[in-house]
Structure 1
């Protein structure tokens, strides 16, 4: 959680920075350094050559690299104050694209180069070998290729070498063995082949060695044991074989050993945790290690992460009561336990581990009952995996004490009894898996109180009774826990459930997977299911359902599987959507169904002569160079237009066509304003216009339209608020994507306010007017309400506009409503609201805002101590999932 607090503070800093950037007429104000007569022109010229090799600078970093400012004051440059020579070049994380100029080798005083987390391509220039004073070279997470420059041997003072996350090939060059001062060597996530070189043992100062994520083979060399100062060693995600060298366990300084996802075998020494007293993280999952868990683990008091998934461990798990720093424990996918009553005794020892966040002992041979002491585990425990064992008996009601639980999995055991009502206290629960057991009784109305639950699996038990109507309560999360909405997966298959399917399930608006097969449900298929626009799989087979198949189900564009076989349905089978594909459609065993596509071989339905054909006229634009075939309405744009998706022939170019509704007052002026604004605009973050059209349509009526490049990924509004796009789109934006969009919109505003021939005020900036292309680059759109200003002799005057500035409630500044003049400050107000909406996931007119509260005060009242309470939960979930994948193994079962 500390990580996310820091992240949010960084976001707030970025927000303030962007505001200042866009409101100053001179966007970058940097103190000018008075250069001495002895300034070194060599460094100056080398930096200019480096800049020339940069093709893309999305953050505008090089705006400061100009002749008005001494190079020692350029962004990312640190100089020696006495000699004014470059000591450090730090441009990490700015998404720069280009090659690394060989002229960088002329910066002879250079001590640190950090170009990590960018888009540099090509090879590392050999000229870097001239930098004999270089201590740090970091070019990780780029797109560099080829072999490592062998001339790096000239960098004899190098201490930190980070080349990870690129596309380097071939074997690790022997020349690295001459860099005797190296302390950190990171070669992870490349395409290196061969074996781990023996010369690694010569790097006696090494404290961190990371060669993970390559194609390395062979065994771990014994020479590694010569590195007596090692604290961190990472071998994971390779093809290494053999055993750990026994001498490795004698490097007492080791804090982290990560060797997951290899083919290592053998057993672990019984005393290994005695000889590794400082070990914090031990990760060896997905190997072929055999034997028992070393009994010395009972004294591994510093251990915080133990990941031994998917090996061949056997026997009992020793007591872990002294591991008070333990946070992650995973033994899943082994052969631990022997299906005896004492197998789970070690769980009692975990009550002393107050830092525990995750326990995974799934898919072993553990037997016996779950101890009541489970309720005494850490309140920080949020994931507990017990599935795939031989556990018997009832679920202890004390588990309800674990109020921090987000995920609980007990699938595939022999657990009986009822579901404890104490589960109603697990208000943070998001995934609950109880399927494939012997549970009986009812589902329990308390399930409806778990407001964050989005995955529920109770299938293949012996449950009976009604589905509780309260299940429809999965609609929104209380303000204090964020905005994670609704159930995503519901599996209650193969139980003894009866009565109707409650229509309230249709209120679980983000439900993707619904499986109720193999029960005794009756009544009709609720038409409300058609409200589930994200539904991908629907299985209602083997029940007693009657009535017809709701016709509107064919409108669910992402539905990929539909099974209603073995029911008592009647009437016509629809022919659209999922009903067009017989391979994903199962309707057999309903003798009174008719119609549908021919592949279903159903009898034709009786003809109803009263049905009237509905005509859908298509609008044709004759004035465009080629014909346009309209496919569908994309969205309504303000009050003045509709936007259609079309194809421009013969190029077969997909375009967006904004057709003005000329019946609306002000639409003519909106058309003129947008044409005037867009005719001279050319910027990567402003929606590109292809042409405009003004004429008479086929009905003899006036017709006006604008043709734009089609933005495949829709609007920011759709992504922030989970409005369905199509099956190929993910549903949420991660942290990086949101930041990039913010920067894109800021760049567009800066261009409109300061770089156009005429100052342009947009007047209607909001998420629905920010469109995203194939690469998720943001483009500001809809210039129907713009104001154009001439800027002559430093004066501004209004040039053209619509008559009334309407804007959009919540985004338009309050001053406009009181008669204030339109200005760039108004756009900045809208931009600030848009940023807050992107961070919180809440619209400025959200229904939670009452008694004078608004989005701004909502954030202000939570700053800085309670930011996590207002952050869009999907950001946290995405980041936690990413961190979990990077730091710990995947534990989803």
Structure 2
């Protein structure tokens, strides 16, 4: 049937040409070529440049654009070249009738469909270039029939399937380029027959298996590039016999083994060595210095060890030296000798030594490097002491990346000499002093990152000269003074983060000048005053964080004009008044106005429809809203603004409060006695909980009158102090003082007491005592006394901004595994091994506490629920808003009114597990437009999981607290796959699909055992 259609098409085109193309009589062969070209034109569906419009009978077809004919056979088409013509459609199989064709080039168009297998009939073809189209299907094996082919270029298409082994028949082939397709399977060993091959490009595909040793027969090969595949095994030694090689690129595969010691002898003409992103190990061969033409050495992201050979400095053509993310060492002066020798490399442009085992200080010889150097990085290493002033000699620098190190001392003024600088990142160090005024000279700088240091003083007004600045981060320092109005004149288009400092004063009116800013973060300062009404000048602002300051007044009505705003956090301030009427018309996806003095009716539209996306706690005069918020109805309380009434009202409330507290205490103890009796009668396994009672005076003395020096932290329902109290012996304890002014304070006390009375486990916080009394003024006082956790909460070990009491230190891989297992074990106990299943309901990093041995303990049971049977509670949430947990960790069904369940805890744990190993908070400002932590991880799982995990877990000294383990990269990868799989399994949207905690404990323990078993095995072998 297909054959008959093809014959009919040829006859039809022949008749059509005889009518429409009144050309002189031609030979049969001439008509064949003409019909083939007409067929080609008929399948071109798009020709916006009208290139084929002249393909008609007015001129001979050999004069058509893109067509060339032969000299000996002037009517026969020898060349069809239509590159970059914006043609679309399909490639006609009739081109196979151009039997004299030797060049077919249709690159950089929009052709779709398949490569016709009929092209294999073009036995005279010497070049085929179909690159930069969207052709699909398989590579035709028939191309092997074109034995005169010199060039095959199919780069950047959507080709699938395997590379045909028949290409090995094209023994004259010089260039084979199959880059950027979807090819799979092995590299055919038959390609070793292409003994004339000079260029082999198979990069950016999905090829697997090993590199065939037969490629070592390609003795004239100059370029081999198989980057970004999934090839494994060792690099065949036969490849090192190809002395003509000048470009050797095998990056981003899974290759193993080491480089031969005589690589410099094997590749005397080598210009580019690019093998980063593999599992190669061993030392960098000294003989590499014999490759005198080398301009690029890129071996990053492998497992190379030992010192960097000083002989590299003899490579005078060297431009790129990328050694990051290895295990290379520089501990002694001799180890740093390579840096001295690099001063001979006068063409050096890139020096990337990040994420290695570099120690000591940066040698002053850094100042002798080439002024052509534009990229310099030693980030994520153990380098300490100050930044040498001679760095100012490198006047060509555009990027300096020295973050996540141990640098100290001031920033040298000489950096102000680097007038070409575009990005400087000195974050996460211990740099002190003030921000140098010399930075005003850096007019090209776009990224300015000094966060998480010990910088003091004011933000220099002179920085206003940095007119190219797009993103600035000075957070987590000790900066004081006001925010200079000059800073608002920048061309900032990304973000400004000044959070976690000691800045004071108002928000400058000039904030309206930040018209292109996307994120403003001013959290945790002492800023005050009202928000300027001009803030709506930030036309594209997406995230605004003003939380934990001293702002007051009402929100300006201009807020409603900020149509791009998606995240707004105003929590822990003194804002008052009603919310702007237009706030529910904004595109907000997250809103936190908790712990302010807002009043009036809560809107019911926009973000207010999603209970998991808003937090309104701590605003007692808010009312209304959707029913799930469980706020008081509007209009049921009487407000008065007469100051003379306040004292009377306060006295009345005190009397009522005291009476209510007395009744509640009586009911509580009666209920506890009743429940205990019933429980003892029902089961002999019921737990008794007898505590030594402590008084208010005991706690007052133990905390030194609730001294700020003993303050550990503040939570939603209370304050925690460190104290020393005598039980059996003097003991350091943590005392949690419940805030009874909040509606949920008393319920929290009751719930937490009841929960802790029924549980005992090494990974749960241990309660030592409780206090239900009155203070010196006769006001109700309730407190719980816990064992003290000297290493604080998990949050302070995951996020530098949460760590204020000590220098930030990241957790290592083994520590994170232990903590994850500890928390999972605690939840498994709560869910399955107690007398009654308990749901925690508020699992998050700040509720996971770490003892002196870094053992994790789950705490804060103020929202806990007891389950008689699945989904049936016998206690109630302690929160007045009805939100069972914390935004970011709340399972989606809770936002729709579903009851608490063990599956809800599993969801929170899944989010927590992903946070532990990625270092990213689920409420990070990057999560907009429906993006979430889970979706971010899912997009990278499993192929690129190593790219989204927290790299600090590989480069930390924290391992020595619970063992000093080093692991094989593949074992780390397998371990992380298990962890991330558990995190995604626990945090699935549907409760019934979530992984049970009992299975999580088994999976994580198994992953850890395999990790340590490999480590112990290699210790024994070594």
- Report the counterpart of residue 501 of structure 2 in structure 1: 519
State the alpha-carbon separation in 1 of the partners of residues 359 and 63 from structure 2: 67
| Correspondence for 1:600 | 593
Deviation at 1:574, TM superposition (A): 5.0
- The aligned residue for residue 574 of structure 2 is 591
Partner in structure 1 of residue 105 of structure 2: 114
Determine if contact 1:88/1:113 at 8 Å carries over to the other structure. Answer: yes
Q: Aligned partners of 1:403 and 1:36: how far apart in 2?
A: 73
Secondary structure of 1:573 counterpart: coil
Does structure 2 retain, via aligned residues, the 8 Å contact 1:261–1:286?
yes
Question: How far apart, in 2, do the equivalents of 1:552 and 1:256 lie?
Answer: 57
In the alignment, the residues of structure 1 paired with residue 169 and residue 247 of structure 2 have an alpha-carbon distance, to the nearest angstrom, of 25
Decide which structure has greater helix share. 2
2-side partners of 1:578 and 1:372: how far apart? Answer: 54
CA drift of 1:70 comes to 3.1
Of 479, 483, 487 in structure 1, the residue corresponding to residue 469 of structure 2 is 487
Of 154, 166, 179, the match for 1:188? 179
Provide closer, same or farther for how the CA distance between residues 294 and 538 of structure 1 changes in structure 2, counting only shifts above 3 A: same
- Please list the CA deviations of residues 92-135 of structure 1 after superposition, one character each: whole Å capped at 9, or x if unmatched: 22221111111211222211111112111111112212211110
1:594-633 correspondence runs (5 A): 594-596=577-579, 600-601=593-594
Determine the structure 1 residue equivalent to 2:339.
Answer: 347
Per-residue CA deviations over 1:804-831 (Å, capped at 9, x if unaligned) read: xxxxxxxxxxxxxxxxxxxxxxxxxxxx
Q: Which residue of 1 aligns with 2:440?
A: 448
Partner residue, 1:332: 324
Partner residue in 2 for 1:504: 486
CA deviation map 1:440-491 (0-9, x unaligned): 222122212211111001112222222111222233xxxxxxxxxx211101
Tell me which of 162, 166, 169 is aligned to 2:157. Answer: 166
Relative to structure 1, is the Cα distance of residues 601 and 445 closer, same or farther in structure 2, using a 3 angstrom cutoff? closer
| 1:301 aligned onto 2:298 | no
Backbone CA RMSD of aligned residues: 2.6
Aligned: 1:105 with 2:96 = yes
Query: Normalising to structure 1: TM-score of the pair?
Result: 0.60
What is residue 221 of structure 1 aligned with on the other side? 212
Deviations 1:642-699 (A, max 9, x none): xxxxxxxxxxxxxxxxxxxxxxxxxxxxxxxxxxxxxxxxxxxxxxxxxxxxxxxxxx
Q: Is the 8 A contact 1:453 1:474 kept in 2?
A: yes
- TM-fit CA distance, 1:581: 11
- Maintained 8 Å contact 1:116/1:139: yes
Picking from 266, 286, 290, the partner of 2:257 is 266
Larger Rg: 2
Q: Is the 8 A contact 1:595 1:602 kept in 2?
A: no
Task: Supply the distance in 1 between the matched residues of 2:293 and 2:560 (Cα, whole angstroms).
Answer: 57
Q: Check the 8 A contact 2:511/2:538 in 1, yes or no.
A: no
Q: Is the 8 A contact 1:578 1:584 kept in 2?
A: no
Q: Say whether residues 1:404 and 2:391 are aligned partners.
A: no
Q: What CA distance in whole angstroms lies between the structure 2 residues aligned with 1:288 and 1:135?
A: 39
Give the Å deviation of 1:377: 1.5
Does the C-alpha gap of structure 1 residues 80 and 289 become closer, same or farther in structure 2, counting only changes over 3 Å?
A: same
> Which residue in the other structure is 1:680 paired with?
none
Which residue of structure 2 aligns with residue 854 of structure 1?
none
Please name the residue that 2:623 is paired with. none
Residue 298 of structure 1 aligns to a residue whose secondary structure is helix
Cα 1:577–1:452 change in 2 (3 A) is farther
* Counterpart check, 1:472 vs 2:455: no
2:551 aligns to what? 569
User: Residue 35 of structure 1: CA displacement?
Assistant: 9.3
Shift in Å, 1:258: 1.1
Distance 1:157 1:230 in 2: 18
How do 1:71-220 and structure 2 match up within 5 A?
Answer: 71-84=61-74, 85-220=76-211
Aligned residues: 567
Contact 2:410 2:431 (8 Å CA) reproduced: yes
User: Which 5+ residue runs of structure 2 have no aligned equivalent?
Assistant: 1-22, 584-590, 601-946, 952-1022
In 2, the alpha carbon distance for the partners of 1:204 and 1:431 equals: 47
**Structure 1: distance between partners of 2:136 and 2:441:** 54
**318, 335, 353: which one pairs with 1:361?**
353
Q: Give, in angstroms, the shift of residue 572 of structure 1.
A: 1.7
Give the whole-Å Cα distance in 1 for the aligned partners of 2:598 and 2:412: 49
**Quick one: distance in 2 between partners of 1:315 and 1:36?**
78
Aligned-residue offset at 1:506: 1.9
Residue 68 of structure 1 deviates from its aligned partner by: 3.1
CA change 1:355–1:64 in 2 (3 A) is farther
- Cα distance in structure 2, aligned partners of 1:114 and 1:302: 34
Tell me the equivalent position of 1:790: none
Tell me the CA shift for residue 204 of structure 1. 1.6
Please say if 1:60 is aligned against 2:50.
Answer: yes
2:526 counterpart of 1:544? yes
Q: Is the 8 A contact 1:191 1:214 kept in 2?
A: yes
- 8 Å CA contact 2:123, 2:145 repeated in 1: yes
TM, length-normalised to structure 2: 0.53
1:314-357: CA deviations, max 9, x gaps? 11000112211111110111111154454432111111111111
Offset of residue 605 of structure 1: 5.6
Q: Please point out which of 399, 414, 419 is paired with 2:411.
A: 419
**Aligned counterparts of 2:594 and 2:389: Cα–Cα separation in 1:** 52
- The yes-or-no answer on 1:44 pairing with 2:27 is no
The 2-side partners of 1:383 and 1:582 are apart by 35
Match of 2:369 in 1: 377
- CA 1:533–1:427: 2 relative to 1, 3 Å: same
